[in-house]
Structure 1
Amino acid sequence: MDATLRNTLEQMPKAELHIHIEGSLEPELIFALARRNGVVLPYASVEALRSAYAFTNLQSFLDIYYAGASVLLTEPDFYDMTMAYLARAHDDHVRHVEIFFDPQTHTARGVAFATVIGGIYRALQDARAQWGMSGALIMCFLRHLPEAEAFATLEDALPYRDKFIGVGLDSSERGHPPEKFTRVFARCRALGLHLVAHAGEEGPAQYITTALDDLHVERIDHGVACLQDPALVERLVRQQTALTVCPLSNIKLCVFERMENHNLLALLDAGIAATVNSDDPAYFGGYLNANLLAAFEALPLTREHAHRLARNSFAAAFLPPAEKAAYLREVEAFFSQQP
């Protein structure tokens, strides 16, 4: 990759739409919070924990992900984790972020919902004040748990409805199709919440279709399996339904064997509104710019693809129209000044 393209990728304004905040918890901070909270970890050191990040599939990652989250107990813990991510995002010229959080991971351990959302939300407010970075929260339901537990989580969340804009669906995809959550998503839709869902990562293209038809989602998280179904591709292009693609995650979890095999270029060339994101960057090897650089190093992606990815990231964001238009103008201004 030439230096000009690298500079464009690093400096261009961008939005991140697929970031699990618990997945930004770096090993160093895990150990610091463990010491602060008196939590005993099953790893002797930062190096031992990091060396365990050799995942064979999504479930092998989730086992370590949930263990890492065990150190999060107080509102300052959630604040510190979120601010650490937001500082890295700011360094990557992320102008807007929509953060996933998994309250069930914490409430199951006895941590109050107010503690979880309070720390994360306060960090977003501080990032706006310090850097002018806008942000919002999307609460995810864990799909390996029953729908009844998702309903209970929604009820816990409603007193804090002003602090999150949407709901999503994450965790183990295989064996947990989107339609398992049709009723709770209908309830969220009636409440005026934005709707997204993980689909077509390890699961089949059919999961993307049912997420659209049964859950009525507005965006698909991952979605890389869509190319299995030409009719689905045509639909995604026609409706301009965005995919929040996470290249390094896809390699780390063996969705693709090597970055050279990734289908990001094929998605873009098909006319799909793909975006690039970091997913769980502490575990998968890099934040947003690292994902862009890895994809552009391995695939014959060009400056025009970078321009499209920057535009797509804001076009797919759940922003007020005036704010979205301002960010899109920022993208155009940046690319008009670049060689």
Structure 2
Amino acid sequence: MLNDQMRNIVQQMPKAELHIHIEGSLEPELIFALAQRNGVSLAYGSVDELRAAYAFSDLQSFLDIYYAGASVLLKEQDFYDMTMAYLVRSHADNVRHAEIFFDPQTHTARGVPFETVINGIWRACQDGPISATLIMCFLRHLSEDDAIATLEEALPFRDKIIGVGLDSSERGHPPEKFTRVFERCRQLGLRLVAHAGEEGPPAYIETALDVLNVERIDHGVRCLESPELTARLAKEQIALTVCPLSNIKLRVFGEMEAHNLVTLLDAGLVATVNSDDPAYFGGYMNDNFLAVFDALPLTAAHARQLARNSFTASFLAPEAKRAFLAEVDQFFASASAGNNAII
């Protein structure tokens, strides 16, 4: 059971979030407000009715309601409001930096211009209370040609994007499906990440590394099924952006007590804690930290490692990374000295 001291440490420590789908931060209250503002008809009669529908059995059942929620996003201000709400909420959790995923294909398929999407999100990142950068994700259930067309649409906004990712349903959509578009992105100097090893097998992680040449694996919790892959990830210090509450909600693990985060850390992997789609999966950053620290034998040393990992694994410039790591170290030095202002 989490004691008050550890609760305060994980809530107050500086941290970065590296796995957040901005459309997945769209709370039911904002969905209804935007629906009313834009004259969009929803299939749910109230905020409570919509929230009650968040009973997912797997990734696909989640994605179905996720895309329905995104239907209220039509104007640049909608994307701004959604992103700002996330940034303010994350700031309250002592998130210092976020690398935000966005899914342009979810919106361009509905006739929303690419520039409407990115300009709203990016403008909020400039105005928000924390450091934030953007990673554009390709939807893997769509074709690679669709992804290439999306990349072409993104090129005029290259200065607003630090990297690309691969998300949506893993099953039946292996990473190698997107070899050409990821190679093009690599040539453009974009940072590369991909979802792998959540629903998909460890082989998807290997392919993401070897064929797509990604630098970071989103989720990756099934890597432990392959001792060779686990050893490689530890040796090469390939970061995993783990999302505990999401893993429980989508039945990757039956209960939090069964989560493998401690095993990942103890194996020397650069595991991080993130919220994924917080409006749908039951919590933002501190909710995820509190859930794992309450259920698993995690210590203050683990907390410090997770905080450091989040910045080490980020795509921040080296000097910014060093500054944030120094802030983490100072926080834990004060905490261990019993400074009541911190703990």
Same fold at TM > 0.5: yes
In structure 2, C-alpha distance between the alignment counterparts of 1:219 and 1:18, rounded to whole Å = 11
Taking the TM superposition and a 5 Å limit, the aligned residue runs for 1:1-339 are: 1-127=2-128, 131=129, 133-339=130-336
User: What amino acid maps onto 1:56 in structure 2?
Assistant: S
User: What amino acid maps onto 2:165 in structure 1?
Assistant: G
Question: Alignment partner of 2:323: what SS?
Answer: helix
User: What amino acid maps onto 1:54 in structure 2?
Assistant: A
In structure 2, C-alpha distance between the alignment counterparts of 1:135 and 1:286, rounded to whole Å = 19
User: What amino acid maps onto 1:202 in structure 2?
Assistant: E
User: What amino acid maps onto 1:24 in structure 2?
Assistant: S
Question: Alignment partner of 2:298: what SS?
Answer: coil
Q: Per-residue CA shift, 1:51-99, capped at 9, x if unaligned? A: 0111000000000000000000000000000000000100000000000
TM-score by length of 1: 0.98
Q: Per-residue CA shift, 1:228-258, capped at 9, x if unaligned? A: 0000001100010000000000000011000
Deviation at 1:338, TM superposition (A): 0.1
TM-score by length of 2: 0.97
In structure 1, C-alpha distance between the alignment counterparts of 2:179 and 2:235, rounded to whole Å = 24
In structure 2, C-alpha distance between the alignment counterparts of 1:258 and 1:185, rounded to whole Å = 35
Question: Alignment partner of 2:16: what SS?
Answer: strand
In structure 2, C-alpha distance between the alignment counterparts of 1:172 and 1:181, rounded to whole Å = 14
In structure 2, C-alpha distance between the alignment counterparts of 1:97 and 1:51, rounded to whole Å = 29
User: What amino acid maps onto 1:28 in structure 2?
Assistant: E
Report the equivalent of 2:340: none
Deviation at 1:14, TM superposition (A): 0.3
Question: Alignment partner of 1:243: what SS?
Answer: strand
User: What amino acid maps onto 1:221 in structure 2?
Assistant: D
Q: Per-residue CA shift, 1:139-164, capped at 9, x if unaligned? A: 00000000000000000000000001
User: What amino acid maps onto 2:334 in structure 1?
Assistant: Q
Structure 2: stretches of 5+ with no match in the other structure: 337-343
Question: Alignment partner of 2:87: what SS?
Answer: helix
User: What amino acid maps onto 1:48 in structure 2?
Assistant: E
In structure 2, C-alpha distance between the alignment counterparts of 1:325 and 1:135, rounded to whole Å = 17
In structure 2, C-alpha distance between the alignment counterparts of 1:333 and 1:134, rounded to whole Å = 20
In structure 1, C-alpha distance between the alignment counterparts of 2:121 and 2:24, rounded to whole Å = 13
Q: Per-residue CA shift, 1:205-235, capped at 9, x if unaligned? A: 0000000000000000000000000000011
User: What amino acid maps onto 1:280 in structure 2?
Assistant: D
Consecutive aligned runs of 4 or more in structure 1 exceeding 4 Å deviation = none
In structure 2, C-alpha distance between the alignment counterparts of 1:255 and 1:64, rounded to whole Å = 19
Report the equivalent of 2:339: none
Question: Alignment partner of 1:338: what SS?
Answer: helix
In structure 2, C-alpha distance between the alignment counterparts of 1:261 and 1:51, rounded to whole Å = 26
Deviation at 1:134, TM superposition (A): 1.2
Structure 1: stretches of 5+ with no match in the other structure: none
In structure 2, C-alpha distance between the alignment counterparts of 1:182 and 1:330, rounded to whole Å = 38
Identical columns (%): 73
Deviation at 1:135, TM superposition (A): 1.2
User: What amino acid maps onto 1:262 in structure 2?
Assistant: H
Question: Alignment partner of 2:192: what SS?
Answer: strand
User: What amino acid maps onto 1:68 in structure 2?
Assistant: G
In structure 2, C-alpha distance between the alignment counterparts of 1:71 and 1:255, rounded to whole Å = 29
Deviation at 1:126, TM superposition (A): 0.5
Question: Alignment partner of 2:253: what SS?
Answer: coil
Deviation at 1:168, TM superposition (A): 0.1
Question: Alignment partner of 1:220: what SS?
Answer: strand
Q: Per-residue CA shift, 1:268-301, capped at 9, x if unaligned? A: 0100000000000000000000000000100000
Question: Alignment partner of 1:98: what SS?
Answer: strand
Question: Alignment partner of 2:110: what SS?
Answer: coil
Aligned residues: 335
Question: Alignment partner of 1:286: what SS?
Answer: coil
User: What amino acid maps onto 2:106 in structure 1?
Assistant: T
Q: Aligned-pair RMSD on alpha carbons?
A: 0.4
User: What amino acid maps onto 2:161 in structure 1?
Assistant: F
